[in-house]
């Protein structure tokens, strides 16, 4: 019998890209899953109907605390993924919207604690790391949990944009509930997740969209030299579930691959898999690009969880392209709006 068999589990933001994959796995592990989501970017179609799956549409920023506590009650574990979030194009251009995460996170942790939820796993982000450690093109530095240490509040902290600060403060908040009320908690720092059901504000799906629409000259935001630690969604989900089961001290854990790829190399892989390449390439440094180089040290996840990512970039791209091309009709033009709006 698994840890999850028969457990009542709440997933906030469960209709999202990562959230819906998490729900699939929890159901497969035998849990009874409740999803709360306002469907602002999540989609009901991401959830496969199941007798052990319940859905409630609710805005966690504006609903009354009484209503939130009522839906959380009876759940032993809560995964908190609800957030105002998108890819770089979105978080760069929507700072005030992303700031609502400060409120959402507090309300969720407070309601979880008050309604007797035992464990909370929070979807944090590599944006919780100091940008100054990610500014060199030739960097091979892997960001360690101690580079943004929420246990050392007297030390200087720094994060990437309002979105990153909200994630960092979300972690600080969750740890404060662990310290004061004995709630069990863990913060998971996801990095550039990709896979089926993700939207085009995120780099890999945006690159696939442009190739699918045969954009020529093909445009890449920035110089194309910027690099990221792209992590396939099923690996993120496996690590998240293991962490919720095994870690309870309110600490932080990186979930990534430890390998970085330049955006222009990812585009080349996509052309190869799609058996198409543009005649021309265009780089636009005026577009939002974020930090120059980002990858995570995953040794803590490996040590504490016995977890390793399993899906390499090529296999992940094949699966994501397979999903995208089978679910999106080609229109022969780029929809600039969907690159910026979640
Ligand atoms: N995708 C990534 O690369 C990545 C990287 C780091 C962290 N994360 C985090 O993982 C989580 C899931 O992200 P995602 O990429 O799967 O998709 P997403 O950003 O679309 O997920 C957010 C979900 O929260 C819901 N939501 C937003 N505001 C809400 C509110 N006020 N009340 C209730 N629900 C609300 C949305 O409808 C959506 O389903 C988010 O917390 C995100 O910040 C994602």
Closest-CA residue to 220 (of 339, 90, 94, 85): 339
Q: How much is the pLDDT for 118?
A: 98
Cα(263) to centroid of ligand 1, in Å?
23
Average pLDDT over all residues of the chain: 97
- The pLDDT tens digits for 127-185 are 999 999 999 998 999 999 999 999 999 999 999 999 999 999 999 999 999 999 999 99
Considering the domain 8-193+230-255 in this protein, what is its CATH number? 3.40.50.720
Q: How much is the pLDDT for 335?
A: 87
Whole-model pTM above 0.95?
yes
- Is pLDDT above 80 for 1? no
CA distance 339 to 289: 12
Structure tokens at 244: 């919720």
Pocket test for ligand 1, best of 38, 65, 83, 162 (most atoms within 8 A of CB): 83
Cα(215) to centroid of ligand 1, in Å?
28
Q: Which residues line ligand 1 (CB under 6 A)?
A: 13, 15-19, 37-42, 59-61, 81-85, 104, 123, 125, 190, 192-193, 202, 342
Domain with CATH 3.40.50.720 in the chain: 8-193+230-255
Cα(150) to centroid of ligand 1, in Å?
22
Cα(84) to centroid of ligand 1, in Å?
6
Considering the domain 195-229+260-340 in this protein, what is its CATH number? 3.90.25.10
Pocket test for ligand 1, best of 81, 109, 320 (most atoms within 8 A of CB): 81
Cα(13) to centroid of ligand 1, in Å?
6
Cα(37) to centroid of ligand 1, in Å?
9
Measuring from atom 18 of ligand 1, which residue has the nearest CA? 16
- Is pLDDT above 90 for 337? no
- Is pLDDT above 90 for 246? yes
Cα(216) to centroid of ligand 1, in Å?
32
Measuring from atom 19 of ligand 1, which residue has the nearest CA? 85
The ligand 1 atom at the shortest distance from the C-alpha of residue 82 is 24
The CB-based long-range contact list for 33-37 (8 Å cut-off, 24+ gap) reads: 33/9, 34/8, 34/9, 34/10, 34/71, 34/75, 35/10, 35/11, 36/10, 36/11, 36/12, 36/60, 36/71, 36/82, 37/12, 37/13, 37/82
- The pLDDT tens digits for 29-83 are 999 999 999 999 999 999 999 999 999 999 999 999 999 999 999 999 999 999 9
Packing angle of the helix pair 313-327, 203-212 (nearest 10 deg): 50
């Amino acid at each position: 019998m698994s840890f999850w068999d028969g457990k009542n589990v709440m997933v906030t933001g469960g209709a999202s890209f990562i959230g819906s994959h998490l729900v699939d796995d929890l159901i497969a592990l035998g849990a009874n899953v409740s999803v709360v989501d306002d469907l602002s970017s999540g989609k009901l179609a991401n959830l496969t109907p199941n007798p052990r799956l319940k859905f409630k549409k609710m805005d966690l920023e504006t609903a009354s605390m009484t209503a939130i506590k009522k839906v959380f009650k009876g759940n032993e574990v809560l995964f908190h993924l609800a957030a105002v979030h998108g890819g770089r194009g979105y978080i760069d251009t929507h700072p005030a919207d992303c700031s609502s995460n400060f409120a959402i996170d507090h309300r969720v942790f407070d309601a979880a604690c008050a309604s007797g939820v035992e464990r909370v796993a929070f979807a944090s982000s590599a944006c919780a790391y100091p940008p100054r450690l990610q500014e060199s093109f030739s960097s091979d530095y892997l960001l360690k949990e101690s580079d943004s240490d929420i246990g050392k509040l007297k030390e200087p902290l720094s994060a990437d944009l309002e979105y990153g600060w909200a994630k960092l403060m979300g972690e600080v908040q969750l740890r404060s509930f662990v310290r004061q009320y004995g709630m069990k908690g863990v913060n998971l720092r996801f990095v550039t997740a990709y896979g089926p059901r993700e939207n085009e504000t995120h780099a890999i799906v945006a690159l696939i969209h442009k190739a699918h629409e045969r954009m020529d000259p093909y445009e890449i935001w920035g110089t194309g030299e910027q690099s990221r630690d792209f992590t396939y969604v099923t690996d993120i989900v496996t690590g998240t579930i293991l962490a919720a089961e095994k870690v309870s001290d309110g600490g932080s854990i990186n979930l990534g691959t430890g390998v970085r790829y330049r955006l222009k190399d990812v585009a080349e892989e996509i052309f190869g898999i799609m058996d198409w390449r543009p005649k021309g390439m265009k780089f636009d440094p005026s577009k939002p690009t974020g930090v120059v180089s980002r990858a995570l040290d995953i040794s803590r996840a490996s040590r504490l969880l016995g977890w390793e990512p399993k899906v390499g970039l090529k296999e992940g791209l094949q699966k994501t392209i397979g999903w995208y091309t089978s679910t999106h009709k080609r229109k022969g033009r780029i929809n600039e709006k969907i690159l910026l709006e979640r």
